[in-house]
Amino acid sequence: MSASQAILPLGTALAAVGIWWLLPGSGMRRRTLGGVLAVIGFGFLGALVPAVSNWFTSGVFHAVAGATIVAAVATISFRNPVYCAIWFGMTLTGTAGLFLLAGAEFLAVATLVVYAGAILVTFLFVLMLAAPEGHAYYDRHSWEAMISAFTGAVLVGILTMMIGSAMLKAEAVQASGPAPTLAEPSVPAAAQPAPYTISRLGAELFTRYLVAVEVAGTLLFAALVGAAVIVTQGRAAMKASAVTREGDAVHVS
């Protein structure tokens, strides 16, 4: 146990230093070194994750999770925002794979279709509309890369520690006494209902969560109107202020 207690802070710290050096603003050699350090750090964290008894499931999970995390780190460390968006698409694909592994097929497809298909393409559209040519100077520099990297690392470390200790507690309770609240699914597999089918999800969505669906629809409508208003009213205000500035200039001259 002491070894794993040492590995967790070590892995988080290595990953933090790696991400710090990977963030824009450092030189090529530091970036390379940072990439190596981040891989080692996340490898330590991955080694801490307990393996399930089915080695195939375990292997697939590790591969998909590793790809997701690599893509996530690449998203925040590339300098060109277009590459950032494309790596974010890779992260989304990895998350969809993890959803699939967790048995949430509908969410996997929805993530791909809605996020990667619609939201990400809108991002790329705005980037193409707005990005100046080449690498902008503000993409080559980060705010306080070290402090933010270590903030994130401390957060991840605390969360991971909490997860580990909660799991240990649940196992200890299971070993010593009757089924605890955390271990509810320890009912025999045959007695459980069919875990997730899309029809069950849909039935639940349109019966129990019907009001929430209506509210979400209203929210989408409001967002659509709001986006249109922001763009049109903002343009009108800009035009008006430009006109007054011109008028002032004429008046002064």
Partner 1 sequence: MSPEQVLHDQLAALQSFLAVGAVLFGVGLIGFLSRRNMIVMFLSAEMMLQGVSLSLVAWGRYRHDLGGQMLVIFIIAVAACEAAIALALVLMLFERKGNLDIAKWQELRESNQPPFEEEWQPPEDKEEPPQWPHLPPAGVLPESVSQKEFYRRKV
Nearest CB to partner 1, comparing residues 169 and 248: 169
Residue 26 in the binding site for partner 1 (CB under 8 A): no
Report the SS3 class of residue 52: coil
14, 17, 37, 92: residue in contact with partner 1 (rule CB under 8 A):
92
For residue 97, what are the CA distances in angstroms to 20, 142, 189? Answer: 28, 31, 24
User: Residue 77 in 3-state DSSP?
Assistant: helix
**CA 170 to chain centroid:** 27
> By CB under 8 A, is residue 242 in contact with partner 1?
no
In terms of CB distance, is 185 or 251 closer to partner 1?
A: 185
Give the residues across from 26 on adjacent strands. 24
Stretch that binds partner 1, among 26-34, 190-198, 243-251 (CB under 8 A): 190-198
With H, G, I as helix, E, B as strand and everything else as coil, classify residue 183.
coil
* Residue that the structure tokens 């375990």 belong to: 58
Applying CB under 8 A, does 193 fall inside the site for partner 1? Answer: yes
Q: Is the dihedral of CA 27, 31, 37, 41 positive or negative?
A: positive
Q: Is residue 37 at the binding interface for partner 1, with CB under 8 A as the rule?
A: no
Give the CA-trace dihedral at 140, 145, 146, 151, to 10 degrees.
-160
- State which of positions 46-85 bind partner 1 (CB under 8 A): 48-54, 61, 65, 68-69, 72-73, 75-76, 81, 84-85
119-148 binders of partner 1 (CB under 8 A): 119, 122-123, 126-127, 129-132, 136-139, 141-145, 147-148
Q: Which is nearer to partner 1, 24 or 33 (CB)?
A: 24
Applying the rule CB under 8 A, the residues between 196 and 215 that interact with partner 1 are 196, 200-201, 204-205, 209, 212
Does 116 bind partner 1 (CB under 8 A)? Our answer is: no
- C-alpha dihedral (195, 199, 200, 204), degrees to nearest 10: 150
